[in-house]
Amino acid sequence: MRDNPSKNPNYYVDPARMKTCIKDGNILQAVVLGTNAYKVKIHLSGNKPDSSRCTCPAYRNWGDCKHAMALYLAYKRHPRWFRNLDYAGKAIEKIPAVKAVAILKILMNAIPEAKRIVEYELKDSKGKTESYCNAIRDCFKSAVNGPDESTFDNLDIYHNKAKQFFKSMKYFACIKLCYEIIFGCLQEDADLGSTEIFPAGFVEDIWQTYFKALIKSRFNSKELAEIKEQLKKLNSFEGFYFDHEGFYPVEGMDYLKKKGLW
């Protein structure tokens, strides 16, 4: 590390090497200049990092990297470097409805994806769930040569939607979204013949949300039948995929068997 200072996260805690620093709620983002320009994102829990994402090869292989650590250190030491977007989130709750609609129309005209999001949010819970599942499938259809940063960002969005369903005790909706993400990731691995496409722990994190919802919920017979089918499909992939991704669908099967539901 002494011979190569770029191996030390502190090397990147420098305005010349860390650009476009943003804090948005519990999310930190920046572009860190290393061998290439890497996009880095950290989710905070309280004032500590909960999870991170970086476009560098090290993160893809090991699920951790010096750039993410550098981003956190920069925020701790130099919070003024970060453009704080919290204000916009708080201010929007106070603006008149007419102004809010006007801003929404501007966003819908500027960002095509915003129109689809608005369409989803106007539906009931069942409609939202199906729309989100279709959107997740579209994420993988558009990533025929492997996921890019946009793919990861979109999957993060729908994993967060699943977590919101969990918090509002819509457990089956949570499970449906998590399943589509996990299945899509494993199918992508299988299609491209690799288990190094998604960062270490990426699928495991989503599986944990799935499994928590499985434990919490009380399903009707139709929902239970669908969950069994999901677990069978996930378990049909070759075992080495699970070794890499860090989860085992049989864990869900065993839980249902223990409860006398399988």
Tell me: the pLDDT tens digits for 64-84?
Answer: 789 999 999 999 999 999 998
pLDDT over threshold 90, residue 258: yes
In this structure, how many other beta carbons lie within 10 angstroms of the beta carbon of residue 21? 22
- Residue 244: predicted pLDDT: 54
- Report the length, in residues, of the chain: 262
- Residue 198: predicted pLDDT: 75
Tokens of 93: 């709750």
Q: What SS3 state is found at 24? A: strand
- Residue 158: predicted pLDDT: 92
Mean per-residue pLDDT for 39-59? 85
Sheet-wide strand order for 37-45? 48-54, 37-45, 27-33, 18-24, 83-84
- Residue 133: predicted pLDDT: 95
Instruction: Tell me, letter by letter, the H, E, C secondary structure of 190-201.
Output: HHHCCCCCCCCC
- Residue 242: predicted pLDDT: 59
- Residue 19: predicted pLDDT: 94
The whole-angstrom separation of Cα 240 and Cα 166 is: 29
The answer, as to whether pTM is greater than 0.85, is: no
Residues paired with 43 in a beta bridge: 27, 51
What does DSSP assign to residue 11? G
User: pLDDT grade, residue 181 (50/70/90)?
Assistant: very high
In this structure, how many other beta carbons lie within 10 angstroms of the beta carbon of residue 53? 20
- Residue 196: predicted pLDDT: 62
The whole-angstrom separation of Cα 65 and Cα 59 is: 5
- Residue 236: predicted pLDDT: 87
